[in-house]
Amino acid sequence: MQAYDLIKEYCNKVSQQIRWKKAKPVIYTEIENHLCDQRDAYIADGDNENIATEKAIKQMGDAVLIGQELDKTHKPRPQLFMIFITAILISIGAFINYMIDDLPNSLYNFSVLPYILAFVVFIGCYYADFTLLGKYADKIYFITLIFSIANSFLDVDYGSGRVWILPRAFTASYISLIFPLVFALFVYSMRNKGILISILAYFPFAFILFRIPTLAGMILYTVTAFIVLYLALYKGWFNCDKKQGLIMVSIAAIITFIFGIINFLFRHSKELVPFLNPEQYRTDYGFIYYIIRDIIENSYLFGSSEFVQNAQSVEILNHISIDYLLTYLIYRFGLICLFLIVALVTLFSVIGIRKALKQKSVLGSLVALSIIITFILQVILAIFDNLGYGLVSSLAMPFISYGKSALFINAALAGFMLFVFRKPPAMPVVQKKL
């Protein structure tokens, strides 16, 4: 048998002990490289190739035992706790919307099926291979961009905020939930290259969000995109001087921030005074602020509010199943519901941030970080909205709101993020004895 065939036979025997299929090629390559390095070291000491190969294999140890040890460390790490939290949040959302469906102004269209399907989507993405996203990162960016531009310019009814895609319609602003991930994938495709193209790649999606328009979507996308850029710079993933890159990203961030402030004042300045003094404008722009703050101020820690006007207020809130679920929960069961849900999403967010920052993989870091930041920003905007201080209207409360588009997109994003977390750590390098 040829010397290299001995190495291949040994590597095959080791990889046969590994039960997780995705880890097999990685382990095979690592073992093969180590054996070749060890063989070359023995050859350098004067041995011929066959003897050097046999020594390298003997020094490595029994292939079956090595494979069994590697199998213990190279298997998926189930994210059961985060799956449990996700299931709890989805269940809470289904329960709340079931109750809301009994309100007098309800459309009586509640169905538990979207929540079941959302969990199926979540589990499906949890077991999917997110590395395919990295393989086609730049293509995903351009396909998403073309699709979004087409929707942006072909839509004939932006007053309803809906884009018609056969055979159903979905809310256009929810498309913004995937933009952070798509941008992060593009940054991944630009690793080891200059940073300028990645900075410029931010603006097309920003223009689309400006056109829709969705201020919440713009905030989610912009904050996440620049955090991703700063992280990539800090990690040294761009082939550029860090100081120069930092200056370029900061200039782009400042320009974007200034433009965002001007845009907000131009479009929403008439809401500022009612936001600060809703009681005075409760029949106009301060209507929603006044009602929600009245509900919150007259709520208890435990139990439903006894104020009749609150019950009437809850019934006339528009889009309660999407925008004001927490407000309704506080009214019916007390502020304790807010605290419990905030505790759950905070726990989910803290674990997600910690795991994302610990990722060694460039792709894993960018994917996980973009998703968890998108999640956190959605939660923050939704909480402010439900407390009557939502100067920027939120998109949805992840996993809880009944809006099907947001529900499915958030479920898919969370599934991809947990797939990143379930990957085993990089294979420990076997100590060489050269």
Cα angle, residue 370 at apex, residues 167 and 123 outer, rounded to 5°: 55
Residue 135 covered by a domain: yes
- Cα separation, 99 vs 328, in Å, equals 10
Residues 115 and 69 in one domain: no
Alpha helices in 45-164 (DSSP H): 49-60, 63-73, 80-100, 113-127, 131-135, 137-154
- Cα separation, 408 vs 171, in Å, equals 12
Q: Domain ends where: 73, 89, 113?
A: 73
Residue 348 covered by a domain: yes
What DSSP letter does each residue of 32-76 carry, written as one string? Answer: HHHHHHHHHHHHHTT--HHHHHHHHHHHH--HHHHHHHHHHHSS-
pLDDT at 135: 83
Q: State the total domains in the chain.
A: 2
- Cα separation, 302 vs 314, in Å, equals 18
pLDDT at 321: 57
356-372 in b/e burial notation, b at 16+ Cβ within 10 A?
beebebbbbbbbbbbbb
Q: Domain ends where: 73, 104, 132?
A: 73
Taking only the tens of pLDDT, the chain with its 434 residues reads 566 778 888 888 887 777 666 677 778 888 888 888 888 888 888 888 888 888 888 888 888 778 777 766 666 677 888 899 999 998 888 888 887 776 655 555 677 888 899 999 999 988 887 778 888 888 999 998 888 887 766 654 444 444 444 334 345 678 889 999 999 999 998 888 878 999 999 999 988 888 777 888 889 999 999 999 999 888 888 888 888 889 999 999 999 999 888 888 877 777 788 788 877 777 677 777 888 888 888 888 887 776 555 555 566 565 565 677 888 888 888 889 889 999 999 999 999 999 888 887 788 889 999 999 999 999 999 899 888 888 887 888 888 887 778 889 999 999 999 988 876 554 444 444 33
Residues 273 and 197 in one domain: yes
- Cα separation, 5 vs 10, in Å, equals 9
Residues 233 and 376 in one domain: yes
**Domain span holding position 186:** 80-277+312-422
Residues 159 and 51 in one domain: no
The number of angstroms, rounded, from the C-alpha of 206 to the middle of its chain's C-alpha atoms is 18
Residues 135 and 43 in one domain: no
CB 161 within 8 A of CB 171: yes
Residue 347 covered by a domain: yes
Which two three-digit tokens encode residue 348?
């989910």
Residue 290 covered by a domain: no
- Cα separation, 36 vs 4, in Å, equals 9
pLDDT at 164: 45
Residue in this structure with the two tokens 């909480």, named with its chain if needed: 383
pLDDT at 347: 92
Residues 188 and 257 in one domain: yes
Residues 23 and 122 in one domain: no
- Cα separation, 48 vs 56, in Å, equals 12
Residues 358 and 256 in one domain: yes
Residues 131 and 46 in one domain: no
Nearest CA-CA partner of 234 in 357, 363, 370: 357
First to last CA, the chain: 25
pLDDT at 154: 60
pLDDT at 20: 64
Residues 66 and 85 in one domain: no
Residue 188 covered by a domain: yes
- Amino acid sitting at position 207: F
Residue 97 covered by a domain: yes
CB 162 within 8 A of CB 384: no
Q: Domain ends where: 43, 73, 103?
A: 73
Residue 11 covered by a domain: yes
pLDDT at 30: 81
User: What are the backbone angles phi and psi of residue 162, rounded to the nearest 5°?
Assistant: -120, 145
Instruction: Provide the 3-class DSSP secondary structure of residue 304.
Output: coil
Residues 69 and 211 in one domain: no
Instruction: Provide the 3-class DSSP secondary structure of residue 136.
Output: coil
User: What are the backbone angles phi and psi of residue 121, rounded to the nearest 5°?
Assistant: -60, -45
Which two three-digit tokens encode residue 130?
């997110």
The residues with which 162 forms a beta bridge, in sequence order, are 171
pTM, rounded to two decimals: 0.78
pLDDT at 73: 65
Residues 151 and 215 in one domain: yes
Which two three-digit tokens encode residue 24?
């097999």
Residue 306 covered by a domain: no
